[in-house]
Amino acid sequence: MDDHNALEAVVRARVTPKGSLENLSQQEVDQVLDRGRGGLYDLFRRCALAVLNCGTQIDDARLIFEAYKDFDIQIMREPWGLKLEIKNAPGSAFVDGQMIKGVKEHLFSVLRDVVYTSTEVVGRYDLSDPANITNAIFRIMRNSGVLDHKGHPNLIVCWGGHSIPREEYDYTKLVGYELGLRGMDICTGCGPGAMKGPMKGAAIGHSKQRVHAGRYIGLTEPGIIAAEPPNPIVNSLLILPDIEKRLEGFVRLGHGIIVFPGGVGTAEEILYLLGLLLDPANAHQPLPLVFTGPASSAAYFENLDRFIAATLGPEAQRHYRIITGDPAAVARAMLHGMDSVQRYRREARDAYNFNWLLKVPAEFQRPFEVSHESMAGLELRRDLPVHLKAANLRRAFSGIVAGNVKEQGVRLIEEHGPFELHADREMAQSLDELLRSFVAQRRMKLSGEYKPVYRVVG
């Protein structure tokens, strides 16, 4: 179904959960249906609409919400449990009037996580305290069942752009296939592009190896889910409260990380991870990290590597390998790295399913509220300590992501113009060169001409 038809097709349906969340308390139902200030209805509605809108090639959250401004979702009590009544929903989520099973699972994952975060996390944890933030992430993950896996380390986090050319997308599938053949599972940001391809490839590899319990885990957050709706291969969807907790979720859950070509969102993830690995407290943490793409993506990684060298220095470069055009070599590197991860976790008495010993400093946990003032106030100087440089660069890229695809960020740009980033001369040059390369390679948006939402001042 093309985007135009998907936006026009709407249905009315009632759906019942299967296997989870058959019961909510009256207080929880009231919270979800509360449309007033402090209620959960608007958050639940927006995340639910994003899930139901899967498969479209639109990454403008506001366009999606405007197209379905009459979308409504209600919780109905039945003698045997609860049911959702949905009105004016995207037709792409249904087949012959029945909701696709995977979409239904994702929909109730949204309800589960929205309710749990509100009732069991917010107000019960001091979310300004680093240890409490990590505990909150653990509780949300445990409640979702994503930590139930008790096997040896084998979960590979795959990062990369949602807006990538076909050749790069096909390459992500080949890497996923090689990972699946070696019995490794996949965790991504759950959207399209480089978040979908590895799962698709791994599913075939798992099938050939008769792996019947392959895990395809998707981590998202309310601000990005509409621009990157969960792809249908995801069989464990988790909605964390914000981008910072989503990023920490990746590094706590995963055992190795692969980075495919992407745009500013991918750069944000890389800077977050390198900032953690450069912390002396994490010096002994084994976390295999590979940047990879087809041979045609070599220039992309050269630009990225040059940017990292210019901003974070050669020490940061030692934390990753660049492998292009060789999916099997990438999978072998991850498989070899799993031995180091397992040995370290066993000797350090840390869990296989949640990396408790990784230190995540407060600078990487504290939510960054994107505004023109906060973006202009970021310190982007070469003389800062390396972990602060990484943290502030991560925030800069996070702000650009917001301006590109998040509803609130798009509105800020329309009302006040581009964000300004103030940097010293050398850092401004490096930052501007990298961002220009993303624009030239059409890595900022899925469709249409890209108008920069930022201005680098140096």
Q: Do 175 and 296 sit in the same domain of this protein?
A: yes
pLDDT at 30: 78
> Residue 112 sits in which domain range?
3-124
% pLDDT > 90, the chain: 63
Q: Do 238 and 386 sit in the same domain of this protein?
A: no
Choose the most confident range, by mean pLDDT, from 38-42, 124-128, 370-374. Answer: 370-374
pLDDT at 2 over 80: no
Number of domains in the chain: 3
% pLDDT > 70, the chain: 93
pLDDT at 79: 64
**Of residues 276 and 1, which shows the higher confidence score?**
276
Q: Is residue 430 part of a domain?
A: yes
3-state DSSP of the chain: CCHHHHHHCEEEEEECCCCCCCCCCHHHHHHHHCCCCCCCHHHHHHHHHHHHCCCCCCCCHHHHHHHCCCCEEEEEEECCEEEEEEEEEEHHHEECCEECHHHHHHHHHHHHHHHHHHHHHECCECCCCHHHHHHHHHHHHHHHCCCCCCCCCCEEEEECCCCCCHHHHHHHHHHHHHHHHCCCEEEECCCCHHHCHHHHHHHHHHHHCCCCCCCEEEEECCCCCCCCCCCCCCCEEEECCCHHHHHHHHHHHCCEEEECCCCHHHHHHHHHHHHHHCCHHHCCCCCCEEEEECHHHHHHHHHHHHHHHHHCCHHHHCCCEEEECCHHHHHHHHHHHHHHHHHHHHHHCCCCCCCCCCCCCHHHHCCCCCCHHHHHCCCECCCCCHHHHHHHHHHHHHHHHHHHHCHHHHHHHHHHCCEEEEECHHHHHHHHHHHHHHHHCCCCCCCCCCCCCEEEEC
pLDDT at 75: 83
pLDDT at 3: 43
Amino acid at 404: N
pLDDT at 223 over 70: yes
Q: Domain boundary at 124, 155, 178, which?
A: 124
Q: What is this structure's pTM?
A: 0.91
pLDDT at 20 over 70: no
pLDDT at 67 over 90: no
Contact 188, 199 (CB under 8 A): yes
Q: Is residue 361 part of a domain?
A: no
Q: Do 49 and 157 sit in the same domain of this protein?
A: no
pLDDT at 278 over 50: yes
Q: Domain boundary at 124, 157, 188, which?
A: 124
Q: What average pLDDT is seen over the chain?
A: 89
As a whole number, mean pLDDT of residues 7-29 equals 70
pLDDT band, very low/low/confident/very high, at 61 (cuts 50, 70, 90) = low
pLDDT band, very low/low/confident/very high, at 18 (cuts 50, 70, 90) = low
pLDDT band, very low/low/confident/very high, at 23 (cuts 50, 70, 90) = low
As a whole number, mean pLDDT of residues 262-270 equals 93
Q: Do 187 and 330 sit in the same domain of this protein?
A: yes
Q: Do 95 and 143 sit in the same domain of this protein?
A: no
As a whole number, mean pLDDT of residues 160-189 equals 96
**Of residues 23 and 106, which shows the higher confidence score?**
106
Q: Is residue 51 part of a domain?
A: yes
As a whole number, mean pLDDT of residues 211-232 equals 90
User: Of 392, 386, 401, which is closest to residue 435 (Cα–Cα)?
Assistant: 401
Q: Is residue 221 part of a domain?
A: yes
Q: Do 372 and 335 sit in the same domain of this protein?
A: no
Q: Do 411 and 295 sit in the same domain of this protein?
A: no
Q: Domain boundary at 61, 90, 124, which?
A: 124
